Every structure is written in C-alpha cells, then in structure tokens.
Amino acid sequence: MPIYEYRCPQCGEKFEKFIRSVNAPQEVVCPRCGNTEVEKTVSLFGLTGGSRFSSGVSCSSGGSL
C-alpha cells in the first residue's frame, strides 16, 4: 500500500496520497484548489534512501577487524 507524492500544476500545492490498491483506479484531487489534473512527483526518500550506505564507505580487504 504505497504513499504517492503529487503536485498540483494549478496552485503549486504538494501533497501525499495513500493508495490502497495499485490496480484500482483512484481519482486524486488537490486538497487546496480541487484540481483533478495533478502530477505524480518523484519522492526524495526514493532518491536518497538507497545511497546512504554507498557514499564514503570503502570495502577494502587490506584492513584488519
């Protein structure tokens, strides 16, 4: 059950929507202006969540534990 992030191109509002089923059609409405033509955005969590361990971490076999 994912949570999607949306942005309304009409008023600029950014908001999240909990979707119960990916297969079921859902109408997403901007909570500020009521616009139904909103854009799904890329989640910052999705962009930064996996790179936390890869930056600055070295896995060399030359050291001792």
With respect to residue 53, please indicate whether it lies within any of the assigned structural domains: no
What is 27-47 written as a DSSP string? ----TTT--S--EE---HHHH
With respect to residue 61, please indicate whether it lies within any of the assigned structural domains: no
Domain that holds residue 19: 3-26+33-45
Q: Binning pLDDT at 50, 70 and 90, where does residue 46 land?
A: low
Q: Is the pLDDT of residue 57 over 60?
A: no
Residue range 4-25, pLDDT digits in tens: 899 999 999 999 998 777 677 7
Q: Is the pLDDT of residue 2 over 50?
A: yes
DSSP-assigned letter for residue 7: E
Q: Is the pLDDT of residue 49 over 70?
A: no
Q: Binning pLDDT at 50, 70 and 90, where does residue 62 land?
A: low
